[in-house]
Amino acid sequence: MSGYAITTPIYYVNAEPHIGHTYTTVVADTLARYHRMAGEETFFLTGTDEHGDKIAEAARAQGSEPKAFANQISAVFRSTWETLGISFDRFIRTTDPDHMHAVQHILRLIHDKGDIEFREYQGLYCVGCERFLTERDMQDGLCRDHERAPEERTESNYFFRMSRYFDALGEKLERDPDWIRPARYRNEVIAMLREGSGLEDLCISRPKSRLDWGIELPFDENYVCYVWFDALINYLAGLGYPDAPDWEERWSGVEHLVAKDILKPHGVFWPCMLMAADIPLYRHLNVHGYWNLDNRKISKSLGNMVSPMVMRERYGFDAFRYFLLRDMSFGLDSTFSEEALVTRINADLANNLGNLVSRTLNMTARFSGGVVPEPGPTGELEQAVQDAAAEAAAEMDRRMRAMELHRAVEAVTRLIDATNKYLDRRAPWKAAKEEGREEEVRTTLYTCCQTLRAIGLLLAPIIPEAASEILKRLGQEDLLATARLPADAAAWGALTPGTPTTKGDSLFPRVELPEETE
């Protein structure tokens, strides 16, 4: 099986992490964990974007130098992801020497090919976007994304002759309809190319007389590289381009993960840059929607942040992960509220999953001496649960690979539902009181323990701490190191009778809203 690489956008260091960054990173982490468990060579890249006008502006506002400011915020991003257990393989910074080397290498390639030329340009420039805007980018004279008025600027700069590659990009989109997904975003890029949408050659430099915080152009020491051209190359640099011997193998399996506000750079600029540099295109561009709060996009620029560290402190990060993955249909917008988070935790995690774990292991302790019982013959009800486990494993695999993570979570939820219903129908707490039904009780408890094993494996990429705890309580604490998905989740009978189990505390206690949010 070919390798797998997942990337997040590198996050801009003009403020600290919020829910938008967290969602993208959690999705990437979930996918990386899943593909590792599927036995694939997996690489997970994230990091920070540190050059450009916005960083220089934010540093000045703090009375700091850009490098010191970037160091400070980049460290916050890295420490946040580490504290939250994000399993990245490389945390790249655009100030890293190997990234700067890769940027200059590609600039030389494209310049030598004749795809970069010097021109004078006049237009409306948005500091937030770090680019010149078109009418399509504005509403009521303001930038749509940053709600601020652009500045009139006239400059002589270097331009990437991007328009040379629009026809080839359009052909790629027609030839490979799944390349940008969901399809609505592929259609958006097709519309951009068809309608113009302000697309033209790309200004890729800034004069040092105005901005010196950037990577110097290798062919003109008076200019630095435009931050978007610089930042996109991190996806190559992070995999070892141009010098590591295995960068091409890793690159062949790259899945980019971005929010819809950066569709144009990733769906137009980046593939054109790759074509110009004669580098194969990425495997997929996967685009998700916005998290909204009070009907407004949650963003650093607008200041309406939801901190992942606060959510972790209040509810535990697994619970927050679960909410993010379950409540956003990938590709569409979703709305965040603590009320919705609390409702989801109590319904899905406390009442459903937590209740199944508690009931199963408490009754195993009570009726089987705390060990996995030896089952008797199975009937239709047991076969139905076994089939449900196999179906959940297969559907989760299909949904993960299709970038439908909310559907993958739903597949596991259905298995939890089915097992709870099975337990209710068999009612071993009643059967245990009747003489001659001991074997039925053992079969029921074995079936539930075996299904919990499957559930623990399937949940491992989604809520890793809780999944590990479920398996530990089943005496399967070493299983995650060797298990393979989807096969091991669908395998029946792998749980050895006589294995000691542990009841433990409530896996997900019910929660309430903090007083200050009521």
Catalytic residues: 18, 21, 126, 129, 143, 146, 297, 300
**369, 361 in Cβ contact below 8 A?**
no
Dihedral of the CA atoms 227, 178, 135, 195 (nearest 10)?
A: 130
| 400 token code pair | 């993960």
Burial 258-280 (b: 16+ CB within 10 A, else e): bbbbbbbbbbbbbbbbbbbbebe
Do the bridges between strand 116-126 and strand 131-133 make them parallel or antiparallel, or are there none, so unpaired? antiparallel
**SS3 of residue 58 by DSSP:** helix
Residues 382 and 453: beta-carbon distance below 8 Å: no
Place of tokens 């113009």: 196
Instruction: Give the chain's count of helices (H) and strands (E).
Output: 21, 19
**Cα gap 288→328, rounded to integer Å:** 9
C-alpha span between 278 and 109 (Å, rounded) = 9
Which two tokens mark 396?
């989760």
Q: Which of 217, 234, 107 is nearest to 160 (CA)?
A: 107
> Which spans in 196-337 are helix H?
227-232, 234-237, 247-251, 263-264, 270-276, 308-315, 317-327
How many angstroms separate the CA atoms of 207 and 121, rounded? 12
In the chain, the amino acid numbered 439 is: E
